[in-house]
Amino acid sequence: MPTVSSFPVIRHEIAGVPVSELASKFGTPTYVYDAAKIEERIRDLQQFDVVRYAQKACSNIAILDLCRRHGVVVDAVSAGEVHRAFKAGFAAHGTPHPVVYTSDIFDRDALELVVKHQLHVNCGSPDMIDQLGAVSPGHQITLRINPGFGHGHSQKTNTGGSSSKHGIWHEQVGECLARAKRYGVEVTGIHMHIGSGTDLEHLAQVCGAMEKTVLEVGRSVTTISAGGGLPVPYKESQTYVDLPVYYQLWDATRQRLQEKLGHKLTLELEPGRYLVAESGFLVTEVRAIKQSGENTFYLLDAGFNNLARPILYGSYHPMSLDVPESRSLSEVVVGGPLCESGDIFTQEEGGLVCRRKLPSAKVGDLLILEVAGAYGFVMASNYNSKPLAAEVLIQDGQPKLIRSRQTVDDLTRGEVIPA
């Protein structure tokens, strides 16, 4: 199990590369990823038969390629993510399924693509079974089950219970089997993803629900998936889940089911955040420092157009500055450039603006938003016509550009003034 992190407020390098060098070479704001950290997190999970990366957390094809080279397969939640997986070298077929389409709906593009490539589908709504069965009889699917309870670090990340839109309600398994039978669709997997912030007491409950559902579906099931939701610490007070215990609970569930079914079951895990969060750093520049009443504001060249988690969920990201150790600490508010008062990185859920103890800064200093690899770049937008940031991957001490910064021409591409 990884040891608990500490988050120093002064940082001079990322994965052995000086922050100043990264900023001068690639500009700011730039997302920088440490490949070694992703590799380390993949190794942590090697006990599981299959690690399926939930690529929505950070879907750059260079990151997908890195995962693929380390034996990880992928989950795709849209046609676009399926295309990314293929572009990163994943095949359509293999054991385990290299790419699984997981969603609560098929849009028309996704259904067409899934049928064309005969991709395995993890269905989160009963309607998906009919829509798939009608055009691809005999298809193999997984059912994503909502066991009727959930867990998540916020209302917006809770993925179980009756107020979650995700998954097939646990009382409708029988109905889904009837639908599948109508089209010759075969249910070969059961999946439960109960949201980020998994704790172990809660997990025992999920395992119990998994067991009940698999037995209800019966001997066609060959794979069970524990979903994602493995936490990473964003603060010193937070920890990792106890991975050996987490594995034991799932493995025991698998073994009990194997005995009852009389055949082997594959145990999959579907982490997003766990693999990439800590690898990611958003390197920004302090562009203005101002005093408003009792508050000091550091205003950066990055805003919620680059990193939306604070404004969406009140998420906390550790921050550091690339400044001399001699700088004194002070309590400051950190915000971005957008014309929106919510464009504040130091906020709690509900939008409450808070202060952070950081080294005193000067305009031009580099500020790094840390643990930003998951749900960072992928949630970026062009709000205020800001180009998307560059992305850089550091491997063996070598920083490589994996996405060039958008240009102003990119911003208006596809726009037309009618004649």
* Of the residues 34, 104, 211, 270, which one makes contact with ligand PLP according to CB under 6 A: 270
Q: State the binding string over 60-79 for ligand PLP (x if CB under 6 A, else -).
A: ---------------x----
Cβ atoms within 10 Å of 314's Cβ, excluding its own: 17
Q: Is 339 a catalytic residue?
A: yes
> Looking at 32-40, 125-133, 268-276, 377-385, which segment touches ligand PLP (CB under 6 A)?
268-276
CB of 76 to ligand PLP, least distance (A): 10
Shortest distance in whole angstroms from residue 75 CB to ligand PLP = 6
Which 134-193 residues touch ligand PLP, going by CB under 6 A? Answer: 193
d(CA 303, CA 345): 8
Tell me how far, at minimum, the Cβ of 57 lies from ligand PLP, in Å.
Answer: 5
Percent composition of the chain: helix, strand, coil (DSSP 3-state, to 5)? 30, 25, 45
Q: Say which of 67, 176, 339, 354 is annotated catalytic.
A: 339
Residues within window 227-246 making contact with ligand PLP, judged by CB under 6 A? 227-230
Nearest-5° Cα angle at 195, 94 to 372? 85
DSSP assignment, residue 346? S
Using CB under 6 A as the binding rule, whether residue 336 contacts ligand PLP is answered as no
Q: How far is the CB of 402 from ligand PLP (least distance, A)?
A: 20
Contacts for 382 with CB less than 8 Å, ≥ 6 apart:
305, 388, 406, 411
Residue 31 within binding range of ligand PLP, rule CB under 6 A: no
Of 271 and 318, CB closest to ligand PLP: 271
Neighbours of 327 (CB within 10 A): 16
Closest among 405, 373, 409 to 390, alpha carbons compared: 405
CB nearer ligand PLP, residue 353 or residue 378: 378
First to last CA, the chain: 62
**What is d(CA 326, CA 168) in angstroms, rounded to the nearest whole number?**
56
Written as six digits, the tokens of 15 are: 């994965």
Q: What does the alpha-carbon distance between residue 75 and residue 121 come to, in Å, rounded to a whole number?
A: 10
Q: What is the phi/psi pair of residue 109, to 5°?
A: -65, -45
Question: Of residues 29, 126, 271, 336, which one binds ligand PLP by CB under 6 A?
Answer: 271
Which range binds ligand PLP by CB under 6 A, 21-29, 49-57, 334-342, 411-419?
A: 49-57
Residue 259: CB atoms within 10 Å: 8
* CB-based contact 306:27 (threshold 8 Å): no
User: Number of H helices and number of E strands within the chain?
Assistant: 12, 20
| Nearer Cβ to ligand PLP (227/376) | 227
Least spacing, CB of residue 121 vs ligand PLP, in Å: 12
Q: How far is the CB of 254 from ligand PLP (least distance, A)?
A: 18
Contact with ligand PLP (CB under 6 A) among 11, 37, 41, 56: 56
Residue 272 contacts ligand PLP per CB under 6 A: yes
Q: Which residues bind ligand PLP (CB under 6 A)?
A: 54, 56-57, 75, 102, 193, 196, 227-230, 270-274, 374
- Supply the residues annotated as catalytic: 339
